[in-house]
Amino acid sequence: MLDLRELQTHFFTPAGVVKAVDGVSLTVNRGEIVGLVGESGSGKSITGFSIIGLVDPPGRNVGGQILFNGEDLLGAPERRLRQLRGNRIAMIFQDPMMTLNPVLSIRTHMVETVLAHEKVGRAEALRRSVEALEMVGIPDAARRIESYPHEFSGGMRQRVAIAIALLHRPDLIIADEPTTALDVTIQAQILAQVQKLCRELGMGLIWISHDLGVVAGLADRVAVMYAGKIVEQGPVDEVLDHPRHPYTQGLVNSAPLANERGKPLRQIRGAAPPPLQRPQGCAFRTRCDHATDRCLQEPPESEGVHRWRCFHPRNMEGRA
Amino acid sequence: MTAFIIRRLLQAVMVLLVTSVIVFVGVYAIGDPLEILLPADATPAERAQVTRTLGLDQPLPVQYFGFLMRALQGDLGTSFVYNQPAVQVILQRLPATLELAFCALLLALMIGIPLGLLAGLRPGTRTEETVMTGSILGFSLPNFWQGMMLIMIFAVMLGWLPSTGRGRTGTVLGIETSLATMDGIRHLILPALNLALAKIALVIRLTRTGVQETMPLDFIKFARARGLSGRRIVSVHVMKNIMIPIITVLGIEFGSLIAFAVVTETIFAWPGIGKLIIDSINILDRPVVVAYILVIVAMFITINLIVDILYSVLDPRIRGKR
């Protein structure tokens, strides 16, 4: 359904061109949950915004294709993109405290979203909104819809945002770290709910996160981003149990586990390179224990379901 | 809400009481009205007689207490000059000033908000530069000079509009107003525009800043991600947020529009209270000065109360906290 091919989004800043997304290829099928993992600045959020054409200047899509149900969205006019946004492709943002307009009621938010894409009466729009709120587990939805954002907790607001995303039964939802700002119990509830809704409604979901643990429990496939590129992708168990790229391996190893209590946590040495000073060739080589002169060349992506971009893939069972 | 309004009204009474003391003492200090009221060749007997009639022979606290007692019955004294109740003198002139200030406020909103939006939504463009340069001129050129230029251009050179006076007035809902006749409206345009110019500049800047602060926020991006049109995002999502600071500032400014319409009223010979207060200060017409200041303070208090009520209409987060 969604097929990103060599997507490139660059930011033209006075200091130079930042290649935030630098050749990302990724597919998402109906009913499939894809986790897009990476640290801050890896380009995962920009990838999400690029798909719905919401990259603000000085950012620009400079290359590749975004095939959505066969239609290339990259050259599509703004009018067409607006028809799709919130309708066929919905988005959920990171901070539920910030995504709803504080001076408008939940009802205003929801009704206007319905009316933006369908010619129905206000009563019908309201009925559908209440139905969507019930679907995400908001009790007493018909009354609560009159509330304002500040009258809801963070978890409830994120449920509202999800309900808004579901209003038009989209083909694809892009969720940008939607549970990062929530506490763990709420996070678990929302994850379960989202997973269930995706399966029931046959929606594709891109779950952008820096939390491997969350993605492990939720996604069917995972793609790991580093410095604007997907360095490894494949079925979630495959990638997390047998990571081939040293960066993925580092991520997996740096997650704290209960049975390793007391031992120092393993971290990836160094820090991600500033976006304007990425190393030539493999961007990870300056932090990699296995880098050689060959890594000065750009590693190509391997073939198959489980793919990686590395000249020296690790062959390991679980944790190193 | 009711409790809130009652509390505010009690505060208002306190403020009026304190103001009356300050003003009364202040006016008492600035000079002797007899010097101006009496002819230079007045006899001591005439002098003593006038002093008694005006109650100026009493000590200050006694004068103030007497004033307060009468004020509680709605009598703020009789003008030395017009020989009419001071309140009545002011209220006769007030509608002309209110009308002028109200039209200026309306112009400020009607011209300032669209220009501010234009500048705020196109940052870094020629449009923004032009609008902002214009607003700097509106701010920094002296008001009286702007007034004279308006007269020069529109009244003298082009001859489109009259330059002085209020023109013919008519009555709407029992209020005498220039807005009822074409002639009145023609007379109102220039002074209202003159009074509005600085406020237009202010509204432009407030709107532009508001837009530029609101546009990068997540809820705007989320609104776009929901597929809303640009028009709806600006007119509902942005506007409702930036109206809060605009209302605050204009609430304060409306008071000052009335209180300081003096310059405009003088230039355009507009028969309002601004001109009255200048004249009254010059001839030390104490009751009018005191009554004027109390009326203005009361008006400020009322406007602030209205602004506070408007807040809770605009911002749901304030509702219920009172």
Q: What is the pLDDT of residue B321?
A: 55
Region of poorest pLDDT, from A250-259, B131-140, B219-228? A250-259
Which tens digit of pLDDT belongs to each residue from B257-314?
887 688 888 888 888 888 888 888 887 788 888 888 888 888 888 888 888 888 777 7
Please give the CATH superfamily to which domain B95-314 belongs.
MetI-like (1.10.3720.10)
Nearest to A108 by CA among A93, A119, A121, A122: A122
Closest-CA distance, A113 to chain B, in angstroms, reads 6
Q: Decide if A82 and B314 are in contact by the 8 Å CB cutoff.
A: no
Q: What is the pLDDT of residue A319?
A: 44
Q: Average pLDDT, stretch B194-203?
A: 90
A80 contact B CB<8A: no
Residue of B226, B235, B319 to mutate when probing chain A, most A C-beta within 10 A:
B226
Q: What is the pLDDT of residue B252?
A: 81
Q: What is the pLDDT of residue B106?
A: 92
Chain A from 223 to 242: CB within 8 A of any B CB: none
* pLDDT greater than 80 at residue B168: no
Query: Which residue among B217, B232, B315 places its CB closest to the CB of A112?
Result: B232
- Of B29-38, B200-209, B249-258, highest mean pLDDT: B200-209
Percent of chain B with pLDDT over 70: 95
Tell me the chain B residues in contact with residue A99 when contact means C-beta distances shorter than 8 Å: 218-219, 222
Ordered by start, the domain boundaries in chain B are: 95-314
Closest-CA distance, B132 to chain A, in angstroms, reads 22
Q: Decide if A91 and B225 are in contact by the 8 Å CB cutoff.
A: yes
Region of poorest pLDDT, from A49-58, A210-219, A262-271, B89-98? A262-271
